[in-house]
Amino acid sequence: MARKRLITAVNDALVAEMERDEKLIVFGEDVELAIMGDTRGLVGRFGRDRVRNSPICEQTLTGMAVGLASAGYRVVLHLMFNNFIYTGMDAIGNQMAKLRLMTGGQMAPTITVIAGYGGGNSNAAQHSDTAYPALMNLGGLRVAVPTNSADAKGLFTTAVRGRTPTFFLEAAGRGGEMGEVPDGEHLVPFGQADVLREGDDVTVVAIGTMVKPTLRAAKALADDGISAEVIDPRTLVPLDEDTILGSVAKTGRLVVVDEARDRCSAASQIAAVVADRGFASLRAPVRRVTVPDVALPYARNAEAALIPSPERIADAVRHVTQKQFA
């Protein structure tokens, strides 16, 4: 075990996997200097054949990843900010997500796309989205949202070794956070949620960037005598429905916290799953704590007002714990 930044844990995983598999190629926007830090130092170690700055042309980069994977490589494509996924969407939505099915399994694009997501840094509307709901709806992709250094290493390693194209989304403002990371090989399976805090009164599912404010809210609620169970799903596709349903069976109440915009958010999906499969457990309506259906503004105070805060999360929890179906 060693304490490391989340971004360093990803870097460690990349080095290990590149050493393990010489057909692993890293390319994308500024991967050589790496503004996020996750791919820093790789070009010096592995050379420009395997680590390469690309031109800025997302619709071609995503398609090139498909072609390179088809030629027998494992590909890590860095898109810098997840808003740029929209620019590269054809090869994401029409190629990566569909080729395995369309070709009857002949092609299995071995691609991991890294991109930063989330607001809170005054990066303004075009660099602050939480874009995973769109990816979740494409039907052939996996989506990972690591929230600590150990999971970042473990999920990334699982992602690059897999046969399904995977989006590995890093909270843009949280790469510097420290956490314990297991030494050596560390794999975290997809579809296995992590119960970060046990509780009896309410289940709070917190996604990605929302884990930290949720844990803060849970602490404040405990002082008021409300016991919240906090679950980090870690991957949104596949989603560990059983852990969430098991927790709701115990608590009877569910709040889902998500930095995506409200409409068709990951929170909406989780709420729907519990309505479908756990309705009998519910003792109060499900609440979603999300971002309103607008673009994130630049001004610090305006932006902060839209992103779920510990106070908003705590309010939602109090609301559902005071409600009870007859």
Partner 1 sequence: MATPGTDVRGHTAVTDLDLYERMLLIRRAEERLIVACTDGSLPGGVHLYIGEEAVAVGACAVMTDDDFVTSTHRGHGHFLAKGGDLDAMFAEIWGRATGICKGMGGSMHVADVSKGILGANGIVGAGFAIATGAAWGAKLAGQGRVATCFFGDGAANQGSFMESMNVSAAWDLPTVFVCEDNGVSEFTVTSTVSGGPLVERARAFMPATVVDGNDVHAVRDAVGEAVERARAGGGPSYVEATTYRIRGHLEAEQHMLGGGTYRTDDDIAAWQADDKDPIARLATRLLAEGTCPREDLDATEASPPADPELAHTIMFGPA
At residue 72's C-alpha, the angle toward residues 66 and 75, to 5°, is 50
The C-alpha atoms of residue 183 and residue 220 are separated, in whole angstroms, by: 34
| CB 94, min distance to partner 1, A | 5
Q: Is 105 an interacting residue with respect to partner 1 (CB under 8 A)?
A: yes
Counting residues that bind partner 1 (by CB under 8 A) gives: 32
**Per-residue x/- track, 16-35, partner 1 (CB under 8 A):** ---------x----------
Find all residues with CB under 8 Å of 189, minimum gap 6, and list them.
158
* Residue choice 15, 16, 35, 107 for contact with partner 1 (CB under 8 A): 107
Nearest to 256 by CA among 193, 317, 179, 323: 317
Nearest to 129 by CA among 169, 175, 77, 165: 169
The C-alpha atoms of residue 209 and residue 116 are separated, in whole angstroms, by: 11
* Residue choice 2, 102, 272, 305 for contact with partner 1 (CB under 8 A): 102
Q: Is 69 an interacting residue with respect to partner 1 (CB under 8 A)?
A: yes
111 or 145, CB closer to partner 1? 111
Kindly state the tokens that stand for 13. Answer: 């995983």
Per DSSP bridges, beta strands 202-206 and 228-232 are parallel
The answer to whether 309 and 317 have CB atoms below 8 angstroms apart is no
* Residue choice 91, 152, 159, 160 for contact with partner 1 (CB under 8 A): 91
* Residue choice 34, 36, 76, 99 for contact with partner 1 (CB under 8 A): 99
* Residue choice 30, 70, 227, 295 for contact with partner 1 (CB under 8 A): 70
Backbone φ and ψ of 192, nearest 5°? -130, 105
Q: Is 139 an interacting residue with respect to partner 1 (CB under 8 A)?
A: no
Q: Is 140 an interacting residue with respect to partner 1 (CB under 8 A)?
A: no
The C-alpha atoms of residue 315 and residue 252 are separated, in whole angstroms, by: 17
Q: Would you state the torsion angle of the CA atoms of residues 117, 118, 119, 120, taken in this order, to the nearest 10 degrees?
A: -110
Q: Is 172 an interacting residue with respect to partner 1 (CB under 8 A)?
A: no
Q: Which of residues 49-68 bind partner 1 (CB under 8 A)?
A: 49, 54-55, 57, 59-68
The C-alpha atoms of residue 161 and residue 8 are separated, in whole angstroms, by: 19
Q: Is 104 an interacting residue with respect to partner 1 (CB under 8 A)?
A: yes
The C-alpha atoms of residue 27 and residue 30 are separated, in whole angstroms, by: 8
Q: Segment contacting partner 1 (CB under 8 A): 35-43, 91-99, 197-205, 241-249?
A: 91-99
Q: Is 127 a catalytic residue?
A: yes
65 or 237, CB closer to partner 1? 65
Catalytic residue list: 127
Interface residue list for partner 1 (CB under 8 A): 25, 49, 54-55, 57, 59-73, 90-91, 94-95, 99, 101-107
